[in-house]
Structure formats: C-alpha cells, structure tokens
Structure 1
Amino acid sequence: MAHRLRPVGTGFPETAPVRLVFAREISTSPDLVFRALAEDLPGWAEWFSAVTSARPTEGGREVRLRGGARFAETVLAARAPELYTYRVDVTNVPGARAWVEEWRLTPAGAGTRVRMTFALDGTAPFRLLWTLARPGVGHAFHDAITKLDRRLTTAG
C-alpha cells in the first residue's frame, strides 16, 4: 500500500539519518549526463537496471523498480549541468518516512565526477536495511553509471 512521506527539502541530504553517498568519474560531459538524468526519464530503464520505467509528471517523476517498488517524486532542483535533486512523496516501500536523491555533477578532466546521495529516514528496520544494503546499492550505482557513460559515449 502506498503512503505519503514527510516533505523535506534540498537540505535533507546533509542532515538525513541515513546517507549513502557514491561517486564515480566517467568520460561523458556534465551537460550530457545532466540531460540523461533530468530530461530523458524513459532512458533510465536502459542504463539503471533496477528501473523498469520512469516518466515525467507535473513537477516531478513517476518511477517503478524491479520487485514492484513505486515512487511519485517531486523535482526539488534541476540546475544544469551541476545538480539534479528529487524527493519521494509517495511510495509503497514500507517504513520510509522521508527520501531525497541528489545527483551532483562536476567537471573532471574531459569528463564528469558523478556523486549520488541517497538521503533517507524511516522506521528503525528501514534505516537498518538501507545501512546493510550500502554495498549492494553502491554496486548498482557503479554499474548504472558505467552503462550510462557507455550509452552516452556511443550515442554522441
């Protein structure tokens, strides 16, 4: 059953009880990475294996993951080419109370340093699960960014 989460803002990634931060440098420019994140939502399913569908909505996004998780999100910041942040407003993930995902893009040589932060709050079991899931989430992030870089490099 879907439930509404606490509406937090762009500062939440700095104060969240659970913060998972992952970073990787890729060869694609920040502009192209930003466009893939913020403008090509259906493309997420091509490079992020957990995503089965993503589509824009009025002021946000609707995302579905393998396993049945669903998210209605609000875009909090979209400052090309450096920042893309969204908040989960409604989800069927049990125990979640507040959730923001922040993507920061900085030039790195001829490419981009991609830093992704999961900022989370929830019940004690939810927080523990995400803390234990850190290695797996990090692996998924690494794989997704590798696929995104490959996709953008071959498309450009």
Structure 2
Amino acid sequence: MSGADSPEILAAYEAVRSDKDDTNWLLISYAAATGNQLVLSKTGKGGLAELADELDDSQVQYAYVRVEYANDAESKRVKFVLVIWIGENTKVMRKARVSIESSAVKRVLAHHSIQVNASDKKHDLDEKDIIARLRKAGGADYNGGRG
C-alpha cells in the first residue's frame, strides 16, 4: 500500500482519535525523495484552521481531523473528517492517481463521518460548513436546524 499504513501514520491516527491526546489533525503527503510514497508530514493541535494553513497548492495530500462542536448547552460531539486535498497547481498525472490512492488511505483512516474533497482552503474547509455537514451526517439534530 504506498506507505499509508506506516507505523507513523497509524500512531498519528490513534493520537487524533484519542480523547487523552491534544493532537487533533494529521497530514499525509508524498515523500520528497521518491514522490510515490505516502508519509506522515505533520500533526497539530490547532484544528481545522491550522491544518488548512499547512496544505500545499502544488500537492495531493490527505488529512484527518477531529472536530468538536456543541449540540446544545449540555452536550458536545466529536466527529472525524477525512480531507482529500488536491491543490490548484497539482500536476495532472498526480491528480489522476487520487482515486486509486485515496482508497488505500481510506482503509487506514477508516473511521470518519464525512469526506471533504478540497481544492480551495477558504471555501472547501470552512469550519461552519463542515460542522453543518457533520450535523446532517450525524442524524439527530439537537440544534433545531440552525447549522
């Protein structure tokens, strides 16, 4: 599998999923040396906004992010999002391989509520929009349809 199941990626995945770890996102990129091997490039604790700052417009990257939001005054939900990033300046052949390679990544980062295919940081990775999508995907809406 092109490196998506490496011990580093698996450990970062478990850290993002853990309630006892502050890590709330991971980013998988292609190794600079080979360009074909997926490697863990970064992890962070700053949420979706911090993750978006790390995305490269010339690459395909895969991210996994923990999103927490309140349903009401008494409850909080934790959901996970898989981001498939295809930068605006990514080479055509790299873009063409995404459909095959993303299935390998999805097998490793298996537990997610939604998948976000993104190419524009501001539009595709807007936290309010993602939370609205998570609420819809979650079934029960304790927020009265207010997003």
With the length of structure 1 as denominator, give the TM-score of the two structures: 0.34
